[in-house]
Amino acid sequence: MTRCFFHPNEDALYECTSCGKPICGQCMRFDEEDKVICPACTLESAVEIADDDTREYLELRHRKADDTKKKKTKLEAALEVINGWYIVLILLLLGTLIYMNHYIDRAGLPAVNELKRFKQMGDPSLQMTYIASKIFLYANENDGQFPKELKGLVPKYLPEPPTILDTGEPYVYSLIEGEEQFILNLPRADRYNYRRLFIMGDGVLKLE
């Protein structure tokens, strides 16, 4: 019998109507048309929906910054941009969590807190978005300075250094030159069916 793409030890009972991956009962989700889809396709839809919800706000924020940047000091301008991106990340995270809660509940899985849901989904994208929101919160409260390493988020912003789902393996994070300022990268992304998965200082989750 065919095995589940996400859980190789489980028999595949369904097939994702979007990408065709074989999936088990634990992985089964429903889209807006009640078609069966896999967790990866659910997550991609969530990110797209949340991003659509924040695009208008982001454009308005940039126009406002352009109109007022001559009246602000460099520090004030930097903090305004960070505040804007932090709000965007919060909206993105909120949108994905609402979307994820909806489909997990419809699949009959018990309600758990957000951190446990990341592991339950088996995809690191949501966890990375959550970590990025904490990075921006750190910068927002530290004069626009991003942490030199993820350990700098502990214990005020995160209870412990973040690891990739339940693997115990750390994310790759570093400060970089230029407007992006930092990069949070998922090592060996192919194991989660991505070529690359990372977030930079522009606040956008990039996946290939």
Q: Whole-prediction pTM value?
A: 0.51
Q: Residue 174: is its pLDDT beyond 70?
A: yes
Q: Residue 54: is its pLDDT beyond 80?
A: no
Residue pair 171/184 in contact (Cβ under 8 Å)? The answer is yes
Q: 74: burial class by Cβ within 10 Å (0-12, 13-18, 19+)? A: exposed
Encoded amino acid at 144, one letter: G
Of 63 and 17, more confident: 17
Encoded amino acid at 9, one letter: N
Q: What are phi and psi of 11, to 5 degrees?
A: -70, 140
